[in-house]
Amino acid sequence: MMRRRFAQGRVARLATVDRSGHPHLVPVCFAIEGNRVVTAVDHKPKSTAVPRRVTNIRANPSVSLLVDQYDEDWEQLWWVRLDGQAWIVPKDHPEFDQVVAPLHQKHRGQYGLQGLPGPAIVIDADRWVGWSAR
């Protein structure tokens, strides 16, 4: 149930930590296959050439991803968090297109007609945690 809810989510919050221990949280589109999640740097404008999430993962690969549902009817509330180890797949990596293929499938409207500038972020899940009001 947790993985199904997680997989159906359209956006997650990616939490990383920098070398000094400062947290960084950013919304991301994602796709899941088995025990692995992929997201990527997309075309939306960024404040730096290398986004902080990428710099943070290179320094500390431990990450969390949170997918949730909020509703005024609190009986509908739920959340699922994946804790895992992330790694970076650069755009020039020979398997980049294969790695991001699930993103193109899930988010056809956003990624279907355009390539991703990359890099991709792949997260291997260590732990799934969740809660539901029901």
Q: Alpha-carbon distance 89 to 11, whole Å?
A: 20
**Owning domain of residue 96:** 2-132
Predicted confidence (pLDDT) per residue in 27-80, tens digit: 999 999 889 999 998 655 556 667 899 999 999 999 999 999 999 999 999 999
Residue 5: other Cβ atoms inside 10 A: 16
Average pLDDT value for residue range 22-26: 96
Interatomic CA distance for residues 78 and 71, integer angstroms: 9
Q: What residue ranges in the chain does DSSP mark as E strands? A: 12-17, 23-28, 31-33, 36-40, 62-69, 78-89, 120-132
Identify whether the C-beta of residue 85 lies closer than 8 Å to the C-beta of residue 63: yes
CATH number, domain with residue 72: 2.30.110.10
Kindly state the average pLDDT of the residues 73-101: 94
pLDDT band per the 50, 70, 90 thresholds, residue 108: confident
Mean pLDDT throughout 8-24?
95
Higher pLDDT pick, 22 / 41: 22
Percent of the chain surpassing pLDDT 70: 90
Task: Reply yes or no on whether the pLDDT at 111 is more than 80.
Answer: no
